[in-house]
Structure 1
Amino acid sequence: MSRQLPPLSLYIHLPWCVRKCPYCDFNSHQADRFESNGKLPEDAYLAQLLADLDADLPYVAGRKIQTAFIGGGTPSLMSEDFYYRLMDALREKLSWADNAEITMEANPGTFEQEKFRHFRQAGINRLSIGIQSFQPNLLKTLGRIHNREEAIHAVDKSRAAGFDNINLDLMHGLPDQSLDMALEDLSLAIELNPEHLSWYQLTIEPNTEFYRRPPTLPEDNTLWGIQDAGQALLTQHGYAQYEVSANSKDNRRAAHNLNYWRFGDYIGIGAGAHGKITLVNGEIFRTRKTRHPNHYLNNLPEVLVIKEAIEQEDLPLEFMMNRLRLFETFDLKDYERFTYQSVPFSLIKACETALKQGLLDHDEWTQQRVKTTEKGKLFLNELLELFLP
């Protein structure tokens, strides 16, 4: 069987925020607790990021980096100089695909907006702006520190800075949110004309303030209504849904996330960063870097990583859990290409069960292709459970 390695991406984690949002379960930490003289330890963190990358360079195995994503936390808190130095170092250490997509998450606050031009000049070519809502009461409930006007202005500012590929993050199913409120938020986001909209339902995650003190969320009927009406509105305005919570215009899909969902490889550097790596001998494993910024900063790269092999019996679930998030047809041969394993009988049987339940498309299956039906999209968790080992 061919040993052509999957496409490779890079994820970079910046762990600091102005303050922790009550719904957030990402590895983020309040910035002022780590500052000295009002500044984050940028020099030390950059040095450790690059040492972390150096330790992972053998996993590149001659591949070009197709995409990069700088997430957090709030990456836009870091200075312009930090990103000029980071991007210069990444270009020196790695080989990049032509027109590689390089995304940064950014807050829409005025302080961050002033840096957008520098981020673009440093080589970042896609901006993902975390708006979540335009409504003052909901922004306050969510712990967001920007307002409606700043959110709108952030898009204008990013265009002026030269960004022609922008994603807006927007949430629905928020505490006490009605259908009209959700559609008002979505309509305003559409008016701003981003290339991409990530529109996803709030879920209450463990280890968050909302988990400890649950807010009152909309009832199920309201949530279904928001989802149906919202997707219809997105479709009407040319935003095609290609994943559970992702919609794009003019086929401007997020290349970085597509690589995740297609079971590609990615190196993860930074505090709490995750990676997924395939070796030429067929071994597939995931990596996790130590989460706390202080521990990350004060240890050698060799002790930062937790490495966990993906066992052969878990591969069908791991693969399908990613691929079925995408509402695209894929060939069963992709399983062999990305896992170095023949398609197991258990996967075939699970697909046949899903076909009987109307969760997968019969016509595509006759051509050895897999495609989620509209029913499968609605009952994705039930579909994925069929692939449990």
Structure 2
Amino acid sequence: MLELPPLSLYIHIPWCIRKCPYCDFNSHTTETLPEQDYTKALIEDLEQELPLVQNRSLHSIFIGGGTPSLFSAAAIAEILNAVEKRIPFSTDIEITLEANPGTVEQEKFSGYAAAGVNRLSIGVQSFNAQHLQSLGRIHSNTEAIKAAATAKSAGITNFNIDLMHGLPQQSQQQALDDIQQAIDLAPAHISWYQLTIEPNTAFYNAPPTLPPDDSLADIQAAGEQHLQQHRYQQYEISAYSQPGKQSQHNINYWSFGDYIGIGAGAHGKQSDIANQQILRRWKTRAPNDFLNPKKHFKAGERLLAADEIPLEFMMNSLRLNQGFQTQLFEQRTGIALATLNQKLASLIKRGLLQQAGDRTYPTATGRRFLNSLLEEF
């Protein structure tokens, strides 16, 4: 009998001090932070999701945004306590909170640790003052460096530093300098990804001048080599970690695990293996609507048909350098991998996929041209 996948929880806190020009996430500025009301609404939202738990414990929790570190430690503690009262935590649960260096305080970080947060994701993006200004970030390079020290002082040594490359007017050496500064802070994990211009952003309406494609490719290659030389192993397209420090929450996403999403605009995924169905559901996006007691938290849901599921699986698992095992594909989808043999053979012939034993994984070229690879599914 097939078992349900591990279960994670995503909690969305949608407010920021200022909207960054590249950001297409569901984030909003506000003069008054409705912390108490939103905390109450999150707990009510969770209550309505409980039937989806199906006797599982929580594998991981990720509190994202927006800027969750705008919330007090007391509010984060109230939220996590409410979750644990309703859903049991696994003994090694990973609980991550996203933090902006411009909102870092020693007392607050210590409070987060006391509340149960055992991993931080610090949104640095760059240590270069010029690039921070062009990205619209509210923090300085000094504050970014201090944030890592503050996390360690609070007892949270498992932290991620978010970095971007391919920034306006950025040279290869400047990108490598950012990586080296991050490495010097000894994070357990570094997320390093290329700036992309997304619709519905300020950059989309007024695009900055980015490095040419050849320069971007050189930056990518040099950065990957530099990270590897310092024992940060790439395990996903934009994720690098010290040994054993991969993000368990994100690995659950990429391994096609299940997750509940609560908060404004949050998404969730639930499996019905026996019927070869996946349920996608999403919440009301606008914070004011989410807080309105006359409106529903859930904005919609959709069952994926069986023929949609392979693409959904591949969109996640092929982000991982190690790809997936045949058993995992069949366990998480209820579909025999052999039904895709023709497509897999074509991708192997084109040099986009490899197979070794029972594992299927993208080549270096496949990772670079992942969208072309996924089009086959």
Same fold (TM over 0.5): yes
1:92 aligns with 2:82: no
1:172 aligns with 2:165: yes
CA distance in 1, matches of 2:6, 2:104: 36
1:349 CA displacement: 1.4
Task: Call closer, same or farther: CA 1:359–1:111 in 2, change over 3 Å.
Answer: closer
1:42 CA displacement: 1.3
Partner of 2:62, secondary structure, is strand
Partner of 1:370: 360
Letter in 2 for 1:8: L
Letter in 2 for 1:80: A
CA distance in 2, matches of 1:167, 1:114: 20
Letter in 1 for 2:360: V
CA distance in 2, matches of 1:123, 1:336: 35
Q: After the TM superposition, which residues 29-178 of structure 1 pair with which residues of structure 2 at under 5 Å, given as runs? A: 29-32=28-31, 35=32, 40-109=33-102, 111-178=104-171
1:284 aligns with 2:268: no
For the 8 Å contact 1:261–1:325, the answer to whether it is kept is yes
CA distance in 1, matches of 2:247, 2:326: 23
1:383 aligns with 2:361: no
CA distance in 1, matches of 2:314, 2:170: 33
1:281 CA displacement: 4.6
1:326 aligns with 2:316: no
Letter in 2 for 1:267: I
Task: Call closer, same or farther: CA 1:140–1:258 in 2, change over 3 Å.
Answer: same
1:182 aligns with 2:175: yes
Partner of 1:213: 206
Partner of 1:27: 26
Partner of 1:150, secondary structure, is helix
CA distance in 1, matches of 2:343, 2:274: 28
1:230 aligns with 2:223: yes
Partner of 1:15: 14
CA distance in 2, matches of 1:278, 1:14: 25
Partner of 2:101, secondary structure, is coil
CA distance in 1, matches of 2:134, 2:106: 23
Partner of 1:171, secondary structure, is strand
Partner of 2:374, secondary structure, is helix
Letter in 1 for 2:371: N
Partner of 2:215, secondary structure, is helix
CA distance in 1, matches of 2:221, 2:238: 13
Letter in 1 for 2:38: Y
CA distance in 1, matches of 2:325, 2:287: 41
Superposed CA RMSD: 1.4
Which one of 263, 271, 280 corresponds to residue 264 of structure 2?
271
CA deviations on 1:132-159 (whole Å, 9 max, x unpaired) are 0011111111110000111001100100
Partner of 2:117, secondary structure, is coil
Instruction: Give the alignment's TM-score, normalised by structure 1.
Output: 0.94
5+ residue gaps, structure 1, are none
Partner of 1:258: 251
For the 8 Å contact 1:11–1:268, the answer to whether it is kept is yes
CA distance in 1, matches of 2:312, 2:158: 30
Letter in 2 for 1:119: Y
CA distance in 2, matches of 1:291, 1:221: 38
CA deviations on 1:280-317 (whole Å, 9 max, x unpaired) are 65331111101100000004674533101111111111
Letter in 2 for 1:305: A
CA deviations on 1:57-106 (whole Å, 9 max, x unpaired) are 00000001000000000000011211121121111111110110000000
For the 8 Å contact 1:8–1:67, the answer to whether it is kept is yes
Partner of 1:196: 189
Partner of 2:162, secondary structure, is strand
1:360 CA displacement: 1.6
Partner of 1:204, secondary structure, is coil
Task: Call closer, same or farther: CA 1:335–1:221 in 2, change over 3 Å.
Answer: same
Percent identity (aligned): 51
Task: Call closer, same or farther: CA 1:313–1:78 in 2, change over 3 Å.
Answer: same
5+ residue gaps, structure 2, are none
CA distance in 2, matches of 1:251, 1:15: 31
1:361 CA displacement: 1.8
For the 8 Å contact 1:5–1:278, the answer to whether it is kept is yes
Partner of 1:351, secondary structure, is helix
Instruction: Give the alignment's TM-score, normalised by structure 2.
Output: 0.97
CA deviations on 1:98-139 (whole Å, 9 max, x unpaired) are 110000000112554541110000000000000000111111
CA distance in 2, matches of 1:110, 1:261: 30
1:335 aligns with 2:325: no
Which one of 300, 305, 311 corresponds to residue 311 of structure 1?
305
For the 8 Å contact 1:55–1:301, the answer to whether it is kept is no
Which stretch shows the higher mean deviation, 135-144 or 297-306?
Answer: 297-306
